Structure 1
Amino acid sequence: MDFEVASDIGMAECMYKRANSKIIVSSYVNGGKPSNERLVNLIACMQSTGADVIKLVIDVDYITDLAPVFQMLAHCQVPFIAIAVGSTGLISQLLGPKFGGFLVYGSLEGKSVPGLPTLVSLKHVYKLEYLNT
């Protein structure tokens, strides 16, 4: 299982030209539950790009496979967004802030994205602002 992170030249150019914007480096991990070593290496690689925020999207079969990802949230040196896709996607969105995740995002009403909760449901149904962190 190899992974690729933005090239040094490409990132240097983005960092130079970004003015007042923030850079998010994102990686999608699929193909089963990654090892802790692979996750640590991937996150270190993503942090080394100098990005302001890193985002990890992971394709797992079971919600318990997210435990190592949530453990990484506490050790990350930059804001970290970690979510799962598929049937575990919603619960990873809802639990992310409890484990130190940077943010939760949703879709607008009428523009639903499969597996992504709407902003209205995040606020009124799941009441994330009351999540005990």
Structure 2
Amino acid sequence: MPLPFAPERSPAVLVPVLAAQPADVLTQAASLAALGAGERPDVVEWRADHLATLDAHHAAETARAVSGVLSPVPLLATLRSADEGGAAGVRNADSMQILTALASTAGVAAVDVEFAYGGAFVEEIRACARENGTAVVVSAHDFAHTPPVHAMVDHLLAMQATGAEVVKLAVTPGSPRDSAALLEATAEFTAHHHTPVMTMSMGAIGMVTRLTGHLFGSAGTFASAGRSSAPGQPGLAQLHAALRAIRAAG
């Protein structure tokens, strides 16, 4: 299933924007929006956790400005915690305020909410997002290892049970078999469920999942346009070229 907040393309290409100052965030976003058709990303993910001044007010202001610069490219707003690879060391109460502000900001197509915050936290963000027509991506990131296939499928099912519009799972492979296991879990989940999913193995060993994950059911893949947000993200131009080659071969 395609991402509900992106062009109906398999896979949707997402590019993160990471900067400490709003002016730099806007500059990066504008450069991505200015790329030609077929070269720009389908979605831009703005990582609010990298803001030097991080609170609900500054996050909402920056998101509003970024969405205006990007239009019509959709904006996914993310506040990644330090526990899951982000720069934000904020309290849960602060995270709630920031994510609620982002979910209610005009122009934000979707917000990312970490599953680890718990069901009540996720539901509160979802309620706010529903009122504002904003999609919710419920995510989980494992920077230590790759769980067994059945455990990854169960994790995706648990995230789906929150009512999220999209579920996302990123894991860390220790071998090529781990990357294959992630792809198997993706295929198993998407064979029986219609919630759009984004999955990836991180690092060099996991690169194959970023390039071919859509063949197994993953609806989106991430590329970098300068600074990457996770290990193993290919460059945007490289990813577009690889996807074109795969489509041509098919």
TM-score, normalised with respect to structure 1: 0.81
TM-aligned CA deviation for residue 120 of structure 1: 1.2
Q: Which moved more, 1:4-13 or 1:38-47?
A: 4-13
Give secondary structure in 2 for the equivalent of 1:104.
Answer: strand
C-alpha contact (below 8 Å) 1:89/1:116 kept by paired residues: no
Whole-Å Cα distance in 2 between the matches of residues 132 and 79 of structure 1? Answer: 25
Give secondary structure in 2 for the equivalent of 1:26.
Answer: strand
Residue type of the partner of 1:122? L
Whole-Å Cα distance in 1 between the matches of residues 249 and 185 of structure 2? Answer: 19
Q: Which moved more, 1:111-120 or 1:77-86?
A: 111-120
Aligned to 2:173: 60
Residue type of the partner of 1:112? R
Q: Which moved more, 1:30-39 or 1:60-69?
A: 30-39
Q: 2:160 aligns with which of 42, 47, 63?
A: 47
Aligned to 2:200: 83
C-alpha contact (below 8 Å) 1:83/1:89 kept by paired residues: yes
TM-aligned CA deviation for residue 29 of structure 1: 2.0
Q: Which moved more, 1:33-42 or 1:98-107?
A: 33-42
TM-aligned CA deviation for residue 124 of structure 1: 2.7
Matched, 1:122 2:222: no
TM-aligned CA deviation for residue 8 of structure 1: 2.2
Alignment of 1:1-133 (within 5 A): 5-18=116-129, 19-74=132-187, 75-76=189-190, 77=193, 78-108=195-225, 111-113=226-228, 115-127=232-244, 130=247
Deviations 1:50-77 (A, max 9, x none): 1111111110111221223212223242
Deviations 1:61-97 (A, max 9, x none): 1122122321222324211111111222321100101
C-alpha contact (below 8 Å) 2:153/2:186 kept by paired residues: no
Whole-Å Cα distance in 2 between the matches of residues 120 and 64 of structure 1? Answer: 27
Task: Name the CA shift for 1:7/1:90 in 2 (closer, same or farther; >3 Å).
Answer: same
Residue type of the partner of 1:100? G
Where in structure 2 are there 5+ consecutive unaligned residues? 1-114
Where in structure 1 are there 5+ consecutive unaligned residues? none
Whole-Å Cα distance in 2 between the matches of residues 132 and 125 of structure 1? Answer: 11
TM-score, normalised with respect to structure 2: 0.46
Q: Whose radius of gyration is greater, 1 or 2?
A: 2
TM-aligned CA deviation for residue 129 of structure 1: 6.3
Whole-Å Cα distance in 2 between the matches of residues 6 and 66 of structure 1? Answer: 26
Once the two structures are aligned, what percentage of the paired residues are identical? 23
Whole-Å Cα distance in 2 between the matches of residues 92 and 36 of structure 1? Answer: 15
Task: Name the CA shift for 1:132/1:8 in 2 (closer, same or farther; >3 Å).
Answer: farther
Task: Name the CA shift for 1:15/1:121 in 2 (closer, same or farther; >3 Å).
Answer: same
TM-aligned CA deviation for residue 115 of structure 1: 2.2
TM-aligned CA deviation for residue 9 of structure 1: 1.8
